[in-house]
């Protein structure tokens, strides 16, 4: 591992904080602009906004790992040994997101392909069972249950 002098290390740190600050402000700007908070009536398409946010976040992660965790100064074997688990973690996240989406879809539709009406999509409100039974008994002349 190469060692840096105090002056060189402080220059790297200051440069890193400035770069990370600019990237973070860019992320905030993209988010505000993309949702229409800066210019009325103007929003960015989701794929542009999400792509920019993911790219900027990945750059920040790369920069922090390389400079603040000093991976830039290590040899290639250590870099490769750290890259493989990261690839598996990313694959796991994608797999769990896919599985969660499939699980949600199976809850929304039953086996025959009919859509299940969820409570927030109900057409008419639920009726209290006792009130309904009292009305039925009073209509039929059964006064014993209504009292």
Tell me: the pLDDT tens digits for 134-144?
Answer: 777 777 665 55
Q: Indicate whether 146 belongs to any domain.
A: no
DSSP string covering 84-138:
HHHHHHHHHHHHHHHHHHHHHHHHHB-TTSPBP--GGG-SS----HHHHHHHHHH
Q: Indicate whether 147 belongs to any domain.
A: no
Q: Indicate whether 104 belongs to any domain.
A: no
**Per-residue model confidence (pLDDT) at position 118:** 61
In the chain, how many domains are there? 1
Q: Which residues form the domain of 64? A: 1-74
Q: Indicate whether 19 belongs to any domain.
A: yes
> Which segments of the chain have a pLDDT < 50?
1, 121, 145-147
Residues with Cβ within 8 Å of 143's Cβ and at least 6 positions away in sequence, in order, are 137
Asked whether 30 and 53 are in contact (CB, 8 A), the reply is yes
**Per-residue model confidence (pLDDT) at position 57:** 93
**Per-residue model confidence (pLDDT) at position 146:** 46
**Per-residue model confidence (pLDDT) at position 111:** 60
């Amino acid at each position: 591992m190469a060692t840096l002098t105090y002056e060189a290390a402080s220059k790297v740190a200051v440069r890193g904080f400035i770069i990370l600050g600019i990237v973070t402000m860019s992320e905030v700007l993209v988010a505000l602009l993309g949702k229409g908070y800066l210019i009325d009536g103007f929003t960015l398409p989701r794929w542009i906004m999400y792509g920019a946010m993911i790219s900027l976040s990945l750059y920040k992660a790369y920069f922090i790992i390389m400079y603040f965790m000093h991976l830039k100064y290590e040899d290639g074997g250590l870099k490769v040994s750290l890259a493989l688990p990261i690839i598996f973690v990313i694959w796991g996240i994608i797999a769990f997101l896919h599985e969660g989406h499939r699980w949600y879809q199976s809850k929304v539709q039953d086996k025959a392909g009919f859509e299940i009406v969820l409570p927030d999509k109900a057409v008419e409100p639920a009726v209290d069972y006792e009130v309904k039974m009292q009305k039925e008994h009073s209509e039929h002349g059964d006064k014993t249950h209504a009292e």
